[in-house]
Amino acid sequence: MHTKVVWIFAALLGLASSIAILLFVIDRKVDLIEPNQPAMADVNNPPATTDSPSRPKQPDLITYWTDQEKKSNLTGHPEAASVYRERITAYSAGPPSLPPIWPTIQTPSTHMEIYLRDATPGDSSKTAPTSTSLLAKHEPASGVYIGMLGADRRVGYDVTKIEDVYGRKHALYLAYVGWRKVQTDTNTYFPARTAERVKELGGALQIGWEPRYGLDDVQDDEYVRRFAREAKVSGIPIFLRYASEMNGAWVPWHGEPQKYIEKFRLVHNIMAEEAPNVAMVWSPNFWPPDTVDDYYPGDAYVDWVGFSLYSTPISAEKEQLKGTVIDTFAPLYERYSHKPIMISEGAVAHTYLPTNQSYWSWAEGQLGYMYGLLPRLFPQIKAITYFNYSRAQAIRTNGSYVYDIGENPYMDGYYQRLIASDWFLSKIEQGVNPISYRYSPVNSPSLPTGKQTVLVYPKLVNDRGEPPFAIALYQGKQLLGVSYEAPWEIDIQVNAESASEPWSLFAYNAKMELTAVSTGIGLAKR
């Protein structure tokens, strides 16, 4: 991802030597990423953890903000500490117990949609299968494998540090392998040393395998066969992301869809013969979307569908803060949700290097959408791998963005808080099913009587890309509950006497000023 600016620049100029430049860039990417080295629901009642006895219970929201305030001061970020203090003050004020007098808001910050937790979702195409025989290779029935590329400042490619740094073991570790590149420390084509270290962690390896010399060099030869045999010997689950981002002009395997399909099927067949532990991942970039379908090899050849999915504050050299990854991902999900989907590499950029402009607060909100809302709105997303790339690495490779979670005082603790949810899995386990519910959109003006859990999706419509600070839910004049963070889940009790009253949602900024209103009135007429 970090080299795409270079690639796109060359492609747009139409240089005759663009292929040579592309090969040079890809070689640099492989050398940097795969070095030869040794190897939420109720904020006051967070869910119990299940997959690791050493996994700490998440603190309530006020304790979390207080801890982050102290940490920000200790690490030299007094401006962040001040923001956390303001949040604590605003939380103490809270929303009114009665809904505000119906306001007219000229420029609402968000359009809010409400979803109801349902143990028996009606859309069978998006329901977790009841039999593991219906699942793809390495697929959980529900939940999301958490993964990471550890190219950040603190991990420095040493995957054994990820759990200590980020508070939870990850299931997937990302590495890149250049076509016909020999791993000199093991004399293998397969990244055997990295696989050994991942095996010791009880994890799986996602491999970006890139045919840097073009599609014609992809043959049924000893190189591919030996790579497959070495993958089998590794003894761990492998997610093979072969020739990804093929829909983008920045890669040399772009531009010949039929040949691409032929080569993908060839690699699939070789892996099926030689390496049963390998799941084939077909993985375009989310942009441009119009040619994605042209490259699809067919259901029989694809185990998982992957996407590169990034949030960046600059687009076409202009600041663009409006919207989220959900906006761009939704149409792709509709086309490919019959397969398990992974965000094979994704991240939120918090610093734009050409101007050295920081977008720390904006990036925090975007991270909440990626890890808080994306899996819940799109339950066929079964893995997310964060492209954790440091400032130093971005500068070294002429990149434009810093994605390193630890270099943003808002994202660091928030990432750990988000992945503590039971939605996220630290171990590859076929058929595991930790989530027994889905969320369905509410299409009626009122909510059911009794105890319920709802999720609010605040679709950003403001140019600043600012999510709400708080969202309050009312049924008639009764305050049902309030949420202060993604995934904006609220446990509610709807009393019989107010069950016929319409629901309404009110969004507030950090000063507890009203910024948006949504209501169920009129839904029954749709």
- What amino acid positions are annotated as catalytic residues? 245, 345
d(CA 41, CA 315) in angstroms, rounded, equals 34
Which residue is listed with tokens 């430049």?
21
Cβ pair 286, 309 in contact under 8 A: yes
Element (H, E) at 314: strand 314-315
Query: And the tokens for 312?
Result: 């960046």
Cβ pair 234, 199 in contact under 8 A: yes
Helix (H, G, I), strand (E, B) or coil at 133: helix
Q: For residue 344, which of 260, 285, 299 has the smallest C-alpha distance?
A: 285
Q: For residue 140, which of 381, 410, 493 has the smallest C-alpha distance?
A: 381
In the chain, how long is the greatest CA-to-CA distance? 74
Task: Look at the alpha carbons of 90, 94, 96, 99 in this order and tell me if their dihedral is positive or negative.
Answer: positive
Cβ count near 274 (within 10 Å): 17
Helix ranges (DSSP H) in 75-166: 78-93, 162-166
User: Cα-flanking dihedrals φ and ψ of residue 345, to 5°?
Assistant: -150, 130
Helix (H, G, I), strand (E, B) or coil at 357: strand
Q: Pairing state of beta strands 238-242 and 351-352? A: unpaired
